[in-house]
């Protein structure tokens, strides 16, 4: 398993792009409207408000019901402190079985 891209959820995409340009000392490689901006090959910024607007306008045209349900699921935490890790694997079913076999209890953020 290899880390593909890490998506950092941000509240203000424009402000976050300025911050990460300064921090990483690099320009974004790619941008998809106001939805996400890719820095390097491992870090991207994701603007969840972009999807919220689309779901409100045309939910069935772009998103399946599972995504919409998860999108609105209340995790009890701010939606501005979420990071999603995308991993690249050769065999997803095999990797899922391997990870499922590891019993480390519930993983929670450091406090």
Kindly list the distances between the CA atom of residue 30 and the CA atoms of 17, 21, 33, 39, 45, in Å, as whole numbers in the listed order: 12, 13, 10, 7, 11
Q: First CA to last CA across the chain, in angstroms?
A: 27
Q: What is the DSSP string of 15-30?
A: HHHHHHHHHHTS--SE
The answer for residues whose C-beta is within 8 angstroms of residue 52's C-beta and 6 or more apart is 71
pLDDT by residue for the chain (111 residues), tens only, comes to 888 888 888 888 999 999 999 998 999 998 988 888 999 878 999 888 888 888 877 666 667 787 777 777 766 655 556 788 888 888 888 888 887 887 665 555 544
Report how far residue 13's alpha carbon sits from residue 11's, in angstroms, rounded to the nearest whole number. 6
């Amino acid at each position: 398993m290899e880390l593909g891209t890490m998506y950092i959820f941000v509240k203000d995409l424009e402000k976050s792009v300025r911050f990460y340009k300064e921090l990483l000392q690099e320009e974004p490689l790619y941008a998809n409207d106001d939805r996400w901006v890719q820095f390097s090959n491992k870090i991207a910024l994701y603007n969840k408000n972009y999807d919220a607007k689309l779901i409100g306008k045309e939910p069935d045209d772009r998103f399946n019901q599972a995504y919409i349900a998860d999108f609105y699921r209340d995790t009890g935490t701010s939606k501005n402190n979420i990071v999603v890790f995308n991993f690249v694997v050769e065999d997803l079913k095999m990797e899922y079985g391997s990870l499922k076999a590891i019993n480390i209890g519930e993983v929670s953020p450091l406090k």
